[in-house]
A and B are shown apart, each in its own frame.
Chain A
């Protein structure tokens, strides 16, 4: 297992390099640049800006400098838009925020999703099944940009229970609505996935054997059915976890949570090259990491898998 992990970790290096090269080329191929404004700058001013940020160099030089900056100093460069901040500072400030609300949202989605899915499968066609399926349908047709304003209308404007936005260092009251808005749709998917996978497992031979041994239902489910039915859900959870902890542009914009999610869209629209590269690498690196973790977890849920 250790050599497998090492191999995968080393394999991540060319993947990340490829990510840098492709993102870099795509980014520069997009029309306009960081200093293309409606109020057009005189050429001299643009030249000065390009010289300051090294954009006057050929693309391969820029790319090499960028990679060298990361390797040698772990420096992801300056933001071209937020002039007082570097990409490192932007990520250091925004990522802990999304990690927190995204992490909770993930936990929420997994616990409720798996729980509801299992309950629905075990009591198929019962009231709880209809409730779970109904809830997951409602949740999946309510995108977070619709859910967020509804939540604010109810809990902030109507009931005055929760603040309508802000982060306040992660105060729980400020986290409730972002977590609900973020987790609901994911929870719905997990519920449906878990339900169908559990139904399939419950009809398999080894469950029949377990039941035949006279084990109580809860033991059959926890010991014999849960693990195998988690396999399809697990492969879904790796990328979902990354998507959640890197935040959401909708949540960050609607709730002013100051997370990194907003930058995935903003940096692209602003052509803030270094920030765009920074968040792309962050998401890319995390995806590689969590795919590895998921693969290692397979060995735990599925005894047939050995590394």
Chain B
């Protein structure tokens, strides 16, 4: 990696010299660059925080990746590439990772980014005084003592991270998880500028105080309206940063965003639900739909003494799952290229092999027949009809899906489904309290590895609201934490989910966007949809 980096640096320097002397039109990947390299895109809500350790929303993270930089970035394929670190080595027992930092990396105030800044940032994340919502991420990453520091049992300096010298960061893990390096891509693992934080306290993220280390600097903040970032000449790889300024416009309404896109005000907007087919036909070069590492599902309450007793019978759960015609939902309702889900983990996740799930390859008629048979075996039929309820959070989209499934179950199985909608927080509260029979749920990957999905249904997971409890499943997932290649365990765990059916997976999400045809640099196949403004450029057309 180091060698490659050196080469790009030399090439880049050569290119920069030529540009300076000849002023010929810039090129990137063989395409001529446009004169206008300004770019604007939408975000659904105001930034909740610029503080890398306090960020908990995807959009905050999108912006943070342009103004901050962590140890590693990802490329278009989701592979790790050096950023704040030149690379890393790992000890034989896979418990100690050593990152060599990039000596050219600087904060926007000119001071170098040191290993101590990473240590400071990581300790902040788990410090109970900061109370970050993402504190648990350090525990997910298995960094030594993370849980104990979060709970206040140990002081933050006992976290398993230390600065060997200014440019060497050493991380010690509790368990040798092989995907640890992927986890440092998350903004919560970014370094923090101690000099600014100690000087300004909670106000350090105000535009006049903020100190950043990324390719861009924050130049304008109008909460509720827009955020502007501009190329930072101090950035170690500033020569490769083309797109500037980048304007993040707060647009709460997808339809409003689309209108403004069509009027030429914005370069990238999300496609409002249901509009993808028309837009794709009308603007084939601009309408995009990429798989996104999220799954939409109904979870079934299996907790003792809670939920619907009928659903504790695996045959009933299977019958219900089989009778959901997922293609109707993806092709007739959602229409943006979503994939029917027969597994919990999206197939786009790196290094994950889907098991052969029997009903995935059946025709819907065959599934329906099987479903009828199973339900009859379980003792339900015209004489003893089954009635179940479903909770979902208020939204037109969730309602459409619930009503479609209600029809499918009614027609195929004679099952009476009552969908109940609740406001977001009430829905979530009921799920946590176990006050539901079935509940709509969705999960998006925290990192590009199957455990971010599969860990959820272990009996000890805080998110396992349906209280699925299978010791074999727990063992597979526990063992996976110490295996060099856990993919076989993930496949087996997924197979168990298909057998026990504690959840009814419905579809895998897509991220569908309108993007002006002259913009390059967005990956069309990274399921994490991580993108870096520094990789973007506009070509001449």
Contacts and interface: CB of A to CB of B under 8 A. Distances in A.
Given A45-B135, A84-B51, A256 B256 contact: yes
A92 to B, nearest CB: 11
A258 B135 contact: no
A149 B128 contact: no
A44 B151 contact: yes
Interface in B175-217: 202, 205-206
A82 B226 contact: no
Interface residues of A, number: 53
A42 B464 CA distance: 12
Contacts of B424: 32, 269
Interface string A226-270: 000000000000000000000000001111111100100000011
Contacts, number: 151
Given A41-B136, A254-B256, A256-B252, A36 B131 contact: no
Contact of B224 (A32, A51, A84, A258): A258
Interface string B28-67: 0000000000000000001111110010000000000000
Given A43-B462, A85-B223, A32 B426 contact: yes
Contact of B256 (A43, A81, A93, A164): A164
A210 interface: no
Contacts of A271: 425
A36 B259 contact: no
A41 B428 CA distance: 12
A36 B255 contact: no
A165 B256 contact: yes
A149 to B, nearest CB: 6
A53 B133 CA distance: 13
B423 A164 contact: no
Interface stretch (A63-71, A152-160, A295-303): A152-160
A165 B224 contact: no
Contacts of A255: 256
A84 B135 contact: no
A284 interface: no
B251 A165 contact: yes
A152 B129 contact: no
Contacts of A24: none
Contacts of B129: 52
B46 A82 contact: yes
Which secondary structure characterizes the binding site on chain A?
loop
A30 B425 CA distance: 9
Contacts of B255: 149
A40 interface: yes
A186 B50 CA distance: 39
Contacts of A285: none
B425 A32 contact: yes
B133 A258 contact: no
B439 to A, nearest CB: 10
Given A45-B150, A165-B260, A262 B429 contact: no
A84 B253 contact: no
B490 interface: no
A182 B46 CA distance: 22
Contacts of A167: 222, 225
A39 B49 contact: no
B290 interface: no
B133 A166 contact: no
Interface in B415-441: 423-426, 428-430, 432, 441
A165 B257 CA distance: 9
Contacts of B151: 44
Given A149-B256, A269-B424, A42 B136 contact: yes
A97 B224 CA distance: 11
A152 B47 contact: no
A45 B49 contact: no
B13 interface: no
Interface string B242-261: 00000001111101100110
A258 B462 CA distance: 36
A300 B276 CA distance: 59
B154 interface: no
A84 B205 contact: yes
27 contacts: A31-B429, A31-B430, A32-B426, A32-B429, A36-B425, A36-B428, A36-B429, A37-B428, A43-B462, A44-B151, A48-B128, A48-B150, A52-B131, A81-B48, A84-B49, A84-B50, A164-B256, A164-B265, A165-B260, A166-B225, A252-B224, A253-B252, A253-B256, A255-B256, A257-B224, A258-B250, A259-B224
Given A38-B441, A49-B133, 13 more contacts: A38-B428, A40-B432, A40-B465, A41-B136, A42-B139, A44-B136, A84-B50, A84-B202, A149-B256, A152-B259, A165-B260, A165-B265, A259-B224
